[in-house]
Amino acid sequence: MHPLHIVRYTFISLLLILPSTLAWRPWPNTTTTTTTTNDPLRESKRYEGSSDLVHLRYHMGPVLTPNITLHTIWYGLWPAPHKRIIRAFLGSLSPTSNPPHHPSVSAWWRTVRLYTDQTGSNVSRTVSLGGEKNDRFYSHGRSLTRLSIQSVIRSAITAKTRPLPINPEGGVYLVLTSADVLVQDFCQVCGFHYFTFPSIAGYTLPYAWVGNSATQCPGVCAYPFAVPDYIPGLKPYAPPNGDMGVDGMVSVIGHEIAELASNPLVNAWYAGEDPSFPTEIADLCEGIYGTGGGGSYTGQLLDGGGGVKYNLNGVGGRRFLVQWIWNPVLGYCSGPNALDQ
């Protein structure tokens, strides 16, 4: 049996306590005067460099080493230009014959590729766009729970017309909700990933949810294109694709796909002892987009003019701002726009 078919019995007990990482919140860019000096994370020149404090471990479960195929479910109202931004990002993850300028999205994915499974195979180099399904009539309502998101996936893979394909070998599902959809724990989390239960969807399929936070909590989930009220005077950056909510989603989508790839059944790569509250490879680097990042400071970014800041180039001349990923070789967060590369 393919490992993705195996559901460990213990996971059933996780049903009620699905892993949830609290959304990272930017904190004011204060200097050492107000921060506790005994906090080594804050003292470190490279806040992300405190490898001694990060016990990221491999827990022997499967990793997405086969070619990854992303099947997208657009839940709610999704204007075509918004879809195009997200598709361009997803389509930039794999290397292409006409590669974008450095630093690129596919170079960002190389950090995720550093994670391996028991056989020493790396996370897949190839991440391709699979099927898409529009759920524009809100099949499960405008307020979703963590569990009803699995029913949204079930509807998409069992639809009478053009159901989404089921390929447990590297197939993953992205449920993207429009700004008017409420989701359980949204704003405490900006996205999450898990796997479907056979009792609901018929299969064990890794999936992620990410919501458009434009009207719900942009200062948290679309930071730094929106800033929270509690940091007065901080100016938001202009989004590189002109849409605060969707440009903000792109980084969260990158975060969730990186974690899906390295921890698809929540028993592979994570830090911490409690598998129901794992700290995963992107959680460790939230809010860090460039060299020196930490606190409310994003780190060194590229300047796109007109207030636009970004750190990655994608296909078709698109630009994106995506958080860094924990690099297990270096022992700190890294990305292709690092100044020391």
Ligand X SMILES: *[C@@H]1O[C@H](CO)[C@@H](O)[C@H](O)[C@H]1NC(C)=O
Choose which of 13, 30, 118, 126 interacts with ligand X (CB under 6 A): 126
Instruction: Please compute Rg for the chain using Cα positions.
Output: 19
Specify the residue, 27 or 297, whose C-beta has the smaller distance to ligand X. Answer: 297
- Contact (CB, 8 A) for 242 and 267: no
The residues that bridge with 131 in the sheet, in sequence order, are none
- Give the x/- contact pattern for ligand X in 28-47, rule: CB under 6 A: -x------------------
51 is an interface residue for ligand X by CB under 6 A: no
Token pair in block for residue 338: 């690092």
What minimum distance in Å lies between the beta carbon of 297 and ligand X?
4
Contact stretch for ligand X (CB under 6 A) within 6-14, 100-108, 114-122, 270-278: 114-122
109-117, 136-144, 180-188, 303-311 -> range binding ligand X (CB under 6 A)? 109-117
- DSSP string covering 266-335, please? SSSEEESS-TTS-B-TTGGGTT--STT-BTTB--S-EEEETTEEESEE-GGG-EE----EEETTTTEEE-
262-300 in b/e form (b: 16+ CB < 10 A) is bbbbbbbbbbeeebeebbbbbbbbbbbbbbebbbbbbbe
Min dist CB 87 to ligand X, Å, is 17
Identify which range of 48-56, 113-121, 175-183, 306-314 contacts ligand X by CB under 6 A: 113-121
Q: Does residue 341 touch ligand X according to CB under 6 A? A: no
Find the shortest distance in angstroms from Cβ 105 to ligand X: 16
Tell whether residue 27 is a contact of ligand X (CB under 6 A). no
Helix (H, G, I), strand (E, B) or coil at 270: strand
Indicate whether 231 belongs to the interface with ligand X (CB under 6 A). no
CB of 90 to ligand X, least distance (A): 14
288 and 333 Cβ atoms separated by less than 8 Å: yes
Binding residues for ligand X restricted to 56-85, rule: CB under 6 A: 67
Q: Which is nearer to ligand X, 144 or 312 (CB)?
A: 312
CB of 46 to ligand X, least distance (A): 12
Evaluate the CA torsion angle 129, 130, 131, 132 in order and state its sign: negative
Contact residue for ligand X among 114, 147, 187, 200 (CB under 6 A): 114
Whole-number Å distance between alpha carbons of 335 and 327: 9
Contact (CB, 8 A) for 287 and 323:
yes
CB of 224 to ligand X, least distance (A): 9
Determine the 3-state secondary structure of 74 from DSSP.
strand
**CB–CB of 124/110 below 8 Å?**
no
Work out how close the CB of 154 gets to ligand X at its nearest, in angstroms, rounded to a whole number.
26
Using CB under 6 A, which residues numbered 245 to 304 contact ligand X? 296-297
By CB under 6 A, which span of 35-43, 110-118, 263-271, 276-284 interacts with ligand X? 110-118
Q: In the complex with ligand X, which residue's Cβ is closer, 67 or 276?
A: 67
Q: 283 is written with which tokens? A: 């959680």
User: In the complex, what is the shortest distance from the CB of residue 111 to ligand X, in angstroms, rounded to a whole number?
Assistant: 9
Cα 164 from Cα 281, distance rounded (Å): 28
Residue 136: helix, strand or coil by DSSP? coil
- 89 burial via Cβ count (<10 Å: 0-12, 13-18, 19+): buried
Amino acid at 21: T
What's the min distance (Å) between Cβ of 329 and ligand X? 5
How big is the site for ligand X, counted in residues (CB under 6 A)? 12
Q: Under the rule (CB under 6 A), what is the footprint of ligand X?
A: 29, 67, 113-114, 116, 122, 126, 234, 296-297, 328-329
